[in-house]
Amino acid sequence: MKETLNLIRSKTRKREVVIKRQAFCYFLNVYKGLSHDYIGKVIHRDRTTVIHSVNTFKDLLSIYPEYKSELDFLIKAKNTDLILLEQIIKENKDKLSEELIQYLQNYEPKR
């Protein structure tokens, strides 16, 4: 998932990467209830880009059912929590103790 996140954060406009990026934004917004601003921080994009991604992927799902496989992968993946946890640590590094940061970095989601 770490490689996928790096790909999602990349500047590339390759269609297969754009679809993954849009699916990720949609997933975080619809399934995790995160704000557009927060998702933008996670993927290193502006909130308006996230809004566009969410809306575009929603439209794509209604037209091309095969894009649901991108969404299914994210729904089944336990690693999405780790990505969010990484962002929380990054934002609060100066407020968290070293022990807590170490604990959070070693966190393994339940399968």
Return d(Cα 49, Cα 39) in angstroms, integer: 10
- Mind listing the pLDDT tens digit for each residue in 80-107? 777 777 777 887 778 878 888 787 777 7
Quick check: pTM over 0.75?
yes
**Residue carrying the six token digits 């790096």:** 6
Lowest-confidence range among 3-7, 15-19, 37-41? 3-7
Contact (Cβ atoms closer than 8 angstroms) between residue 27 and residue 75: yes
Q: How far is CA 35 from CA 3, 19, 46, in A?
A: 23, 20, 12
